[in-house]
Structure 1
């Protein structure tokens, strides 16, 4: 009788656990779940004829409820049914230890037609008011790892790690990133030379979640996503307001990014992007170079003016330490400026007359709890509260030891406070924009008096957007301003004009720990998000004049060892090739002579980029044609561009490409191939591409764009583009392919 029922299982509403394994497949991908508790047995890429996961029946979810962690193995009843072709519903009931015996967990997995992707959803009912602070789902274990395995993550701009399992061997080790925040997109790719696991979420409303990778008990990799239900008392259940996406892909991290781009470009954050909608200030788009200096106007605006005169193109500033308070502890007591109201305003106006615009630093979420205003404004009641009810504070300033506390952006009090400060600096002091530090981050707040869901939810990003709208609404006389965020983030593209992306200088602030920077975000969203920034510096760090004098070093802003000059070039080459507005930190005019080759390289790079904006500002990232690029070991330094004085320069060597290159499609159908050499000798460029792969016609012209302009390099025919020329030492250029 049992054999008969199992054979006819497809006609039953629910299938009991004693039938065989559960298969869900289309022509591209197959999932097998075990029938006793619904654990994942395996995942197969049918197109590649390979196993992605051999989880052996590991649970696909883990719920923390009432202070205890539970998986499907603890439930007494498990049933499943395929409600439609390619759609599986699995249900768990009867947790013996639950206060409420009616707790039900339902997982739905739906395969996409003709794709190796699937959508996963979880709902839990009958929690009877018990707190459910976290739900790990989906959990995909049994993922192989070898020396050829790579992990690509959009940790802000993007990072890539070879052989992640090696770093995860340490007890308790895991990689975990939160979204929206350091995780700029909802995506993780784990792959080898053939491809691998594509894991994402299709959340269009920016709910808080974590994505992570760790080693399982079987010593294989496990991908997981942590979902955060809000903790409002009395909740009876939770249903994910989005789907998790699990699938297989062929290729590398660029392939995974292109797959994500197909989804991302359809979302509201692209339709409402300020860059794509031509809402950003004209002066921002025309910025050829940024100077990131700190201190008074003489230390910031005057060096920028000097550099602009040398470049002959617009140079603007990111301005820290203009404010009257000590950095990283006196916020938000920014005004009046430390050099005084009238001198500051006069300097800003003079710089504007010379074409230099300024973004001034104002942290979007921090309040120093040692400030007088913290007490007089009763700021604590509007601060972010941890789950224990205490304010979320952190000590960033290693010199004063004073803490900053996160402010809850949902509260009108904080939005009004920050918008009022922005009104003052933009309209009274006359600056051109605000760098809103820590904008592209989110916090979970548990204060019930703030009027938002407790803990998890999606309240942070829209309120960050409302704050930006509030600031813009106060700008007078049609003034073009810029609001910049820290890092990059898809959810903020409708709200900020520019994103400070610093991973081109990852080694300088983080050293080398296996991770390498990649332009993951740019592959997906370059035409929608203007990225700028660089830690690249040729000088030792400055020191805030308002910090304790006993820590002030004697060698502030002195030239670094010339051994690290190529590190500076490498950082600039990445910035150019990855489609970013270039920047130099800690610029002083003496560098134009003492580091002439490096400054000349920067100016050359800025000029070439300025001649290539339809690609490097507005273009869509394409896979670059193959080039045999030599690699070399570079001396590198780890030293912050500021506040690093308790550490000496950490020197190390690492192997890097000596030429960075990328390809970009323009809206007019042409193709640009950017090249930036940091070699000390000529290089024979020899690359070939199929015109059809880039949407080009069968014949056309090839041009070379350089600092002085554009010249014809040759032509192509027969659908094959061959590019051959000699790239000079330390040359920056762009090859333009124009179809007839």
Structure 2
């Protein structure tokens, strides 16, 4: 499918903003917090390396910690919690316990601190990088220690100075880090780079670390290494779910840390190891104006665990199920979930039609999909439906029901379809198409739909009262962000869905670039709550309300109206029928977003189905679609569909499953695939769905298993299964010889390190290298000529 350039740019920005955001923890138990005018108590100032050093003799004036919510967490006693409570008057964070494997922390001597400032008037960025500190935290006992940098010039020659304070406290096993920046008038904190801090877990060896990050199953390099300046000058973006794991093979312990950002704030992290030390560098990007200080209003969960990412996901799940994102209840039984979504066997992604009004190709692809799956219970992503793939010229298209005849024809032939027109909210209320840039063509947009006082009244206001603007984008026009706390602003999106229903007879909608993508604060109502400082409201916080109102208004017209949304934002789960993910759109500097698919599924598998799409043009060499019906159709999977997703570079295979209710499902597959009863028990899955998960090995290395093919046990021609002799490794292969275009023939197996020739049994020798996460290679081969399978690929599992 062809994705227009401005959306590719938006996806890239979303990723850059995903990896570029708010203050992350700088040790296992780091809290970065600015706490306003809090007295530090009496102390003695001493000289230190590059800074003045103040030892606080008492803890007077420090904010009281927020109580741990009763029942909010149910994990073991070896877990540390960092919590944030918006209702707390001080907006304080609490650390309840230090994990037992940790012995010491320290800043390496001469560690470099950097802080970026943004001039509000010129928007120029300056990075101050001369602050250094050496701090052996392990020798601090009881008394908080404060480092102060006075007279930090925020911009060369400006004569404007800031003050930066770091407060470190320890009481027994508890560490707490707080940072405060006192800004001069006219400047904002643009970025904050913390020095590397190191900890030493028990039982660690020099080469035993394997790191799995939200960005992908590989060691995480500095995502900003290739950027000219470490900044995100537009609106920051974030996906709310971020999971990191560090594995220590000898003791099977590791660090799991999760960022659950209720305000949409973004995070960045550099991870590396030196000998037995595990190091990281936390970076914070903050283009949110503040008059004097900056606060980090997001909660953090930090946990040490024994095991792997699946264990970590279950710890997160124990917390998540007590949160509002799980309030709707389980997806299968919730009355708020559309039956079209529950009954659907797959989602058919349709790209641009042959012409602006010819949707014949769409109908052909729908017919082919119905024949392939043997049912018309399909969801159809109706990607293009006006003069060009994206509806940039809103609201003209509402007056032109250009695809209603094709929709009617599709429903007549296949009445159980769910047809979801593509809708790009970035052109509507997120970046409403109200021209404020002279380069944008005047007619018909600016003339017919001007930036009226009514629209201006709903614009998301900055602290100075001016509206937040976005752009100019690839179309050359600047847009205004609406504050979704206004009912009138939310009604715009609901009206889009209602007009699509009335004009075209559809029964669903696909919301692009919608989830968890912004941390903007709107200061339209200074007395409202939401942000702990100055009463601003979270733009992201109200997006769920937007979707819920759209859903409810649409279901008043169509009872089973389907609402889907892109990107992984757990806060939107109660409002959505399906959540979507374009993994390749969140890639930069070698990172990828493959891990969210299995991790998110492990946490929320029974609360929201996750659809994954390889979003590149299926005719190009760098695209490897899941199921290719033609050049204009891609089939993606829900968590319960009988499909396996195939990602383009195989850095991390996805969770997959078999639908045991499917008419062609062969129960003989279950003994072949059930390598780990413990795994199935852990998932607590029951009929009709059985799921198997890919479990990462904790270290790089070479390992062998002999796999015996058992074709007599597999009567379903669409699946070929090998099981490991030791019961720990399974290879499930589909489509050894049918891939579209440049990936024709059997080269997909060769691409992934598998050589399909002749030999049974085969010995699988896999070298797992975490940089990048390679699937491995096969010595030996197997005759694939007798198997007829759909075009999917190979998935390698370790279930041990």
Answer yes or no: is the 8 Å Cα contact 1:483–1:496 preserved in 2: yes
TM-superposed CA distance for 1:351, in Å, is 4.9
Match status 1:359 vs 2:420: yes
Map of 1:721 onto structure 2: none
1:321 to 360, 373, 384: 384
Deviation, 1:386, is 10
SS in 1 for 2:425: coil
Partner of 1:96: helix, strand, or coil?
strand
- Which of 319, 337, 345 is matched with 1:263 structurally? 319
In structure 2, C-alpha distance between the alignment counterparts of 1:620 and 1:628, rounded to whole Å: 14
Where does 1:273-352 land on structure 2 (aligned, <5 Å)?
275=331, 277-294=334-351, 295=353, 296-313=358-375, 314-327=377-390, 329-337=392-400, 339=402, 341=404, 343-344=405-406, 346-347=408-409, 349-351=411-413
Partner of 1:208: 265
Aligned to 2:722: none
Tell me, yes or no, if the aligned pair for 2:661 and 2:688 is still in contact at 8 Å. no
Corresponding residue of 2:111: 58
Tell me what 2:449 maps to: 377
Instruction: Tell me if the contact between 2:108 and 2:197 (Cα under 8 Å) persists in the aligned partners.
Output: yes
1:707-718 equivalent positions in 2, closer than 5 A:
none
Q: How does 1:45-194 map to 2 (within 5 A)?
A: 47=101, 55-56=108-109, 58=111, 62=115, 64=117, 73=131, 89-93=144-148, 95-97=150-152, 105=165, 107=167, 120=176, 122=178, 124=180, 127=183, 131-134=187-190, 136=192, 140-141=196-197, 150-155=210-215, 159-162=216-219, 164=221, 181=237, 183-191=239-247, 193=249
Counterparts of 2:742 and 2:549, CA distance in 1: 34
Number of corresponding residues: 580
Give the direction of change, closer, same or farther, for the CA distance of 1:679–1:420 in structure 2 (3 Å limit).
Answer: farther
1:378-397 superposed matches below 5 A:
378-379=450-451, 381=456, 391-393=469-471, 395=473
TM-superposed CA distance for 1:500, in Å, is 1.5
CA distance in 2, matches of 1:408, 1:53: 45
Name the counterpart of 2:543. 464
Question: Following TM superposition, by how much is the alpha carbon of 1:459 offset from its aligned partner in structure 2, in angstroms?
Answer: 1.5
Q: CA deviation at 1:524?
A: 2.1
Question: How many Å apart are 1:637 and its aligned residue?
Answer: 9.1
**2:113–2:132 contact (8 Å) kept in structure 1:** no
Report the alpha carbon displacement of residue 320 of structure 1 after superposing the two structures with TM.
0.9
User: What's 1:517 paired with?
Assistant: 594
Preserved CA contact (<8 Å) 1:59 1:139: yes
Deviates more, 1:297-306 or 1:475-484: 297-306
CA contact (8 A) 2:78 2:100 kept: yes
Q: Is the 8 A contact 1:526 1:621 kept in 2?
A: no
Q: Confirm or deny that 1:408 pairs with 2:464.
A: no
Q: In 2 relative to 1, CA 375–192 (structure 1 residues): closer, same or farther, beyond 3 Å?
A: farther
C-alpha contact 2:462 2:523 (8 A) present in aligned 1 = no
Kept in 2: contact 1:62–1:137 (CA 8 A): yes
Name the CA distance, whole Å, in 1 between partners of 2:188 and 2:468.
20
Q: 1:215·1:221 contact (CA, 8 Å) conserved in 2?
A: yes
2:499 match: secondary structure: helix
Assess if the C-alpha contact under 8 Å between 1:363 and 1:436 holds in 2.
Answer: yes
Q: CA deviation at 1:270?
A: 1.9
> Equivalent residue for 1:430?
505
Give the alignment's TM-score, normalised by structure 2: 0.55
Instruction: Tell me the CA shift for residue 438 of structure 1.
Output: 0.8
Distance 1:567 1:488, change over 3 A: same
Aligned to 1:242: 298
Contact 1:534 1:583 (8 Å CA) reproduced: no
Give the secondary structure class of the aligned counterpart of 1:261: helix
Structure 1 contact 206–491 (Cα < 8 Å) conserved: no
* Contact 1:184–1:488 under 8 Å retained in 2: yes
Contact 2:255 2:305 in 1 (8 A): yes
1:493-512 to structure 2, matched below 5 A, reads 493-503=573-583, 506=584
1:497 to partner: Cα distance: 1.8
Q: Report how far residue 291 of structure 1 moved.
A: 1.3
Residue 614 to residue 384, structure 1, CA distance change in 2 (3 Å)? same
TM alignment of 1:23-62, pairs within 5 A: 47=101, 55-56=108-109, 58=111, 62=115
Judge conservation of contact 2:519–2:538 (CA < 8 Å) in 1. Answer: no
Corresponding position of 1:418: 493
More strand by share: 1
Deviations 1:74-102 (A, max 9, x none): 89xx99999xx998744445723589999
* 1:61-83: CA deviation from partner (whole Å, max 9, x where unpaired): 857487766689589xx99999x
- 2:246–2:254 Cα contact (<8 Å) kept: yes
Superposed CA RMSD in Å reads: 6.4
| 1:224 counterpart = 2:282 | yes
Name the CA distance, whole Å, in 2 between partners of 1:680 and 1:729. Answer: 16
For residues 465-480 of structure 1, what are the structure 2 equivalents within 5 Å?
465-475=544-554, 476-477=556-557, 479-480=559-560
Cα 1:514–1:629 change in 2 (3 A) is: farther
Shift of 1:280: 0.8
Classify 1:260/1:419 alpha carbon distance in 2 versus 1 (closer, same or farther; 3 Å). Answer: same
Aligned equivalents of 2:687 and 2:231: distance in 1?
32
Contact 2:363 2:406 in 1 (8 A): no
Q: More displaced, 575-584 or 300-309? A: 575-584
Residue 581 of structure 2 contacts residue 613 of structure 2 at CA under 8 Å; is this kept in 1?
yes
Greater relative contact order (Cα < 8 A, sep 6+): 2
Q: Quote how far apart the aligned CAs of 1:281 are.
A: 0.6
The answer to whether the 8 A contact 1:636-1:653 is kept is: no
1:526 maps to 2:605: yes
Question: Aligned partners of 2:607, 2:227: CA distance in 1, in Å?
Answer: 41
Tell me if structure 2 keeps the 8 A contact 1:108–1:122: yes
* Stretches of structure 2 lacking an aligned partner (at least 5 in a row): 1-40, 48-52, 57-76, 81-97, 120-124, 154-158, 434-439, 647-656, 671-683, 696-726, 765-785, 796-800
Instruction: Please give the alpha-carbon distance, in whole angstroms, between the structure 1 residues aligned to 2:742 and 2:444.
Output: 30
Cα deviation digits, residues 147-169 of structure 1 (max 9, x gap): 875443334xxx2224747x987
Residues 54, 145 of structure 2: 8 Å contact kept: no
From the superposition, tell whether residues 389 and 406 of structure 1 become closer, same or farther in structure 2 (CA, over 3 Å): closer
> How far off is 1:538 after superposition?
11
Q: In structure 2, how many angstroms separate the alpha carbons of the residues matched to 1:311 and 1:633?
A: 16
Shift of 1:261: 2.9
**1:590 alignment counterpart:** none
Counterpart residue number, 1:594: none
Mapped partners of 2:758, 2:488: distance in 1: 56
Counterparts of 1:60 and 1:141, CA distance in 2 = 11
Residue of structure 1 in register with 2:775 after alignment:
none
Q: 1:326 to 1:55 in 2, by over 3 A?
A: same
1:108/1:460 CA distance change after superposition, 3 Å: farther
* Partner SS, residue 463 of structure 1: helix
Residue 709 of structure 1 aligns with which residue?
Answer: none
Unmatched segments (≥5 aa) in structure 1: 1-11, 31-43, 542-559, 586-600, 642-650, 660-677, 687-726, 735-740
User: Is contact 2:328–2:336 with CA below 8 Å preserved after alignment?
Assistant: no
Distance 2:424 2:380 in 1: 17
